[in-house]
Amino acid sequence: MPFLPMTTKRLFVFALALHSVVMTPLAAQKTPWFERALVGIETGPTGAQFGSDMADLGYVARFNGRECIEKAAAAHCDYMVIWARDGVYTYYDSKLQPKAPGLGERDVLRETVEEAKKHQMPVIAYCVLQYPTHTLHEHPDWRMRDKEGNPIERICFNSPYIGYVKGLLHEMMTYGIDGFHLDMVDQGFGPPYGCWCDHCQTKFKEQHGHEMPRAMRWDADWEKIMEFRYDSSAAFETELERYIKETWPGTSVDFNYHGNPPFSFEVGQRPVQHGVTGDFITGETGQWAFSALGVGFNAAFYRATAKDRRVQVVMQRGVRHYHDQTTRPLNDMRWETMTLLAHGAFGTMVDKTAYDGWLDPVFYERLGKVFGEAHAKREYFGQPVHADVGIYFSHRTRDWLGRENAANAWQGALGAHKAFVYSHIPWGVVLDENAGLERLRTFPVILLPNVGVLLDTEVAALTKYVEAGGNLIITGATGLYDRLGNARETSALEPLIGGRWIRTLDSLDNHVQFASSDVPFSTDIVVDWPFLVQGKAVVYEATTAKAFGKLLPPHRTVLQREGKEGTRFPMSADTANPVGPAVLTNTIGKGRVFTFACSPGEAATSEFHITEARQLLPQAVRYLHSQPEITVEAPAFVESVVTREGNTLRVHFIARIEPSAATPITGRPAVLPTMMEDIPMFRVHLNFQSTPRSAKAFSDKTVINLDDKQVTALIEDVHEVLVFNFE
Ligand SMILES: [Zn+2]
């Protein structure tokens, strides 16, 4: 849904006239539409983002709200998000911003609302917030400014723009819509950073009593700027939400969210602070931006921002990009949709019309099949997700340790997620902003995957969690940096680890080795074999902990030691010179702490990932939590999601089998994502602590066997859900 900045060849100047309309509040529905929504569509035109000209009369000439609703209803969509305003045009009769000239006398928003009434389908108006090309042209003083005062082609959220947006919302509300989708409230996706405009300078000085700092020094002064940026975005969202709720009670509002990876401080959003604005969170997925694993990860990340709050995740029909006018294979769309629904999100498919507004019939035929399946399985979706391990995500580490290379700071979390998905360890996400004791206690195990920055409050909560019986896994360089991202002299977790931090290795090609008599794990591990765990590694000296295995630095040639040759490719392990233990285990109160000197999460996403490195994480979880309620064995190409509702456990299996990729034109060796085309067949095994009273599969094609506490099933589909009842 990001509406990309566009080049505008010619813009007509329209008089700005905020007109107020007296509205009758919508009859309050018993259940808001978003509480019962399962799947829906967002429809908007393609063309304006490639530059616009008022003489472009072919653009959206056929974009018709009635047809959009007819097609959406036939494809089992629960709701319609229709484009009402983009950066250049409106698609309704507006007095504030020019209507797309190709529409002539027509009004897409009116057509949409009228037709939707026949189908009792909620209509949500899509409204661009950031990158409003036309508005920036009319109001250049609302633009962001960089620290030198140069204008940036983005809106400043502290400018009077919010009043203009309210005027637009008034116009749209006259049509009797059900809600607003407001896209986006980012402050850019990279340099130049803002904002040092006059509006911001005045506001900052009122708050702090001094001028805005300009140097990006990652110090206490810069922290004020960071907080000011976060708060500017949040205040903009909160004020619009307040205004909408007061003016039109019962009308929904949601904002396109950017608190998750791969976004970072530059967008001005934090995972929780900006995840709790609006009626529900809306985020995006799609493997070109977030990877195939990002589909489930994003849904869980969004759900972690607040308890019992609905989450909308947006997909696209295109192979590569929203506007690329391609259509994905049926099974690729099934895989993505079922993954989102299994994780408890509701799914929105974005359809970008052709230049003239034509709707692709093949896409709608496929969408009907995908969404028909979703509705047939409706009762199986939306229950709380069962998790054995919480993956801790620290935005403070992202921002203050990652700084302008934030991916370095979250690779450990993404790799841990990959390891748990492949191994079918039920997982969840824990966000530092709301990681209180109550939240931590919902997980038997918490993983700190290279969480470099841990504040005193976080350490205190984690300590209480362990003392009361919780289990902690610590990897790599966790807890070694202060709140501003500078190296500490000791580990913040020294008492929990039961070991002293001695030093951090300057190499990434680090190895570990275990002997058969020297393995802490309860499950199999390859012994007497040094193996690569690509990523940061730390030398510890045990104090109260037990030490296991060896941490081995890499060999270095003479020229490498002299700095004359690089070390990008891993070198073999220097087995003669171990520098410390591979693992420390410690007991604190009723809980246990398992510390890896290496970084198996980072390793899992590195160029040099090996299976054994990744498997260290699930093995540690099973060591600490050895009698889980349910264990799942299934191929690594299958994702499993366990949900719990009273005495009922549901286990979803979503398979993704990608055909092999060809060599790309550029960017070798990174290959282009491929689409899923086939229907896979796979066998799963489940083990329970107690015997299920009944076991059934959704599909009558699935062969399922229940033998006391063990279940096997042979599944042939993209998605299957097995249901177990316990009394
Ligand atoms: Zn500003």
Compute the distance from residue 196 Cα to the ligand 1 centre, in Å.
5
Compute the distance from residue 143 Cα to the ligand 1 centre, in Å.
7
Compute the distance from residue 137 Cα to the ligand 1 centre, in Å.
16
Instruction: Flag whether 39 is in a domain.
Output: yes
The letter for the amino acid at 537 is A
For the ranges 245-254, 551-560, 663-672, which has the lowest average pLDDT? 663-672
**Calpha distance 337→315 (Å, rounded):** 8
- Residues 191-232: tens digit of each pLDDT: 999 999 999 999 999 999 999 999 999 999 999 999 999 999
pLDDT tier, 523 (very low <50, low <70, confident <90, very high otherwise): low
Q: Which of 627, 642, 669 is the last residue of a domain?
A: 627
pLDDT at 99 over 50: yes
**Calpha distance 635→714 (Å, rounded):** 12
Instruction: Flag whether 161 is in a domain.
Output: yes
The answer to whether 574 touches 553, Cβ cutoff 8 Å, is: yes
* Shared-domain flag, residues 414 and 435: yes
Compute the distance from residue 145 Cα to the ligand 1 centre, in Å.
6
pLDDT at 8 over 70: no
Instruction: Flag whether 499 is in a domain.
Output: yes
Pairing of strands 39-44, 346-352: parallel
The whole-number average pLDDT for the span 306-317 is: 96
* Shared-domain flag, residues 477 and 618: yes
Compute the distance from residue 160 Cα to the ligand 1 centre, in Å.
10
pLDDT at 4 over 90: no
Q: Which of 380, 398, 421 is the last residue of a domain?
A: 380
What was the pLDDT predicted at 399?
98
Compute the distance from residue 259 Cα to the ligand 1 centre, in Å.
21
What was the pLDDT predicted at 13?
30
pLDDT tier, 27 (very low <50, low <70, confident <90, very high otherwise): very low
* Shared-domain flag, residues 602 and 706: no
- Residue ranges making up the domain that contains 692: 631-725
Residues in contact with 209: Cβ distance below 8 Å, sequence separation at least 6, in sequence order: none
The answer to whether 480 touches 487, Cβ cutoff 8 Å, is: yes
Mean pLDDT, all residues of the chain? 94
User: Can you read off the two tokens belonging to residue 718?
Assistant: 């993209």
Neighbours of 211 (CB within 10 A): 10
Size (the chain), residues: 727
**Calpha distance 235→273 (Å, rounded):** 10
What was the pLDDT predicted at 48?
81
* Shared-domain flag, residues 618 and 636: no
Compute the distance from residue 174 Cα to the ligand 1 centre, in Å.
31
pLDDT at 41 over 90: yes
What was the pLDDT predicted at 6?
37
Sheet holding 703-707, edge to edge: 630-633, 681-688, 710-716, 703-707
Q: Which of 336, 356, 380 is the last residue of a domain?
A: 380
Instruction: Flag whether 4 is in a domain.
Output: no
Compute the distance from residue 255 Cα to the ligand 1 centre, in Å.
20
Count up the domains in the chain and report the number: 3
- Residues 451-496: tens digit of each pLDDT: 999 999 999 999 999 999 999 999 999 999 999 999 999 999 999 9
Compute the distance from residue 86 Cα to the ligand 1 centre, in Å.
22
pTM score of the predicted model: 0.95
Compute the distance from residue 140 Cα to the ligand 1 centre, in Å.
12
Compute the distance from residue 130 Cα to the ligand 1 centre, in Å.
13
Compute the distance from residue 190 Cα to the ligand 1 centre, in Å.
16
* Shared-domain flag, residues 558 and 611: yes
The answer to whether 222 touches 40, Cβ cutoff 8 Å, is: no
- Residues 570-606: tens digit of each pLDDT: 999 999 999 999 999 999 999 999 999 999 999 999 9
pLDDT at 186 over 90: yes
* Shared-domain flag, residues 622 and 643: no
Compute the distance from residue 159 Cα to the ligand 1 centre, in Å.
6
- Residues 259-308: tens digit of each pLDDT: 999 999 999 999 999 999 999 999 999 988 899 999 999 999 999 999 99
Instruction: Flag whether 8 is in a domain.
Output: no
Compute the distance from residue 343 Cα to the ligand 1 centre, in Å.
38
pLDDT at 5 over 60: no
**CATH number of the domain that residue 510 is part of:** 3.40.50.880
Instruction: Flag whether 464 is in a domain.
Output: yes
Compute the distance from residue 99 Cα to the ligand 1 centre, in Å.
28
Pairing of strands 80-85, 39-44: parallel
* Shared-domain flag, residues 364 and 402: no
Instruction: Flag whether 1 is in a domain.
Output: no
**CATH number of the domain that residue 84 is part of:** 3.20.20.80
What was the pLDDT predicted at 19?
35
Compute the distance from residue 148 Cα to the ligand 1 centre, in Å.
13
The letter for the amino acid at 389 is V
Higher per-residue confidence, 525 vs 538: 538
What was the pLDDT predicted at 522?
67
**CATH number of the domain that residue 703 is part of:** 2.60.40
Compute the distance from residue 262 Cα to the ligand 1 centre, in Å.
24
**C-alpha of 178 from chain center:** 26
Compute the distance from residue 241 Cα to the ligand 1 centre, in Å.
21
Compute the distance from residue 142 Cα to the ligand 1 centre, in Å.
8
* Shared-domain flag, residues 483 and 557: yes
* Shared-domain flag, residues 417 and 281: no
pLDDT at 700 over 50: yes
* Shared-domain flag, residues 352 and 463: no
User: Can you read off the two tokens belonging to residue 502?
Assistant: 């001695």
Compute the distance from residue 154 Cα to the ligand 1 centre, in Å.
10
Sheet holding 179-183, edge to edge: 252-255, 179-183, 123-128, 80-85, 39-44, 346-352, 311-316, 281-284
Instruction: Flag whether 567 is in a domain.
Output: yes
* Shared-domain flag, residues 645 and 720: yes
- Residues 52-91: tens digit of each pLDDT: 888 999 999 999 999 999 999 999 999 999 999 999 999 9
Ramachandran assignment for 672, one of left (phi > 0), alpha (psi -120 to 50 degrees), beta (any other): beta
Measure Cα distances from 676 to 314, 340, 420, 579, 657 in Å. 19, 16, 22, 45, 6
Compute the distance from residue 153 Cα to the ligand 1 centre, in Å.
12
Compute the distance from residue 312 Cα to the ligand 1 centre, in Å.
30
* Shared-domain flag, residues 554 and 638: no
Compute the distance from residue 336 Cα to the ligand 1 centre, in Å.
38
544-556: burial string, b at 16+ Cβ within 10 Å, e else: ebebbbbbbbbee
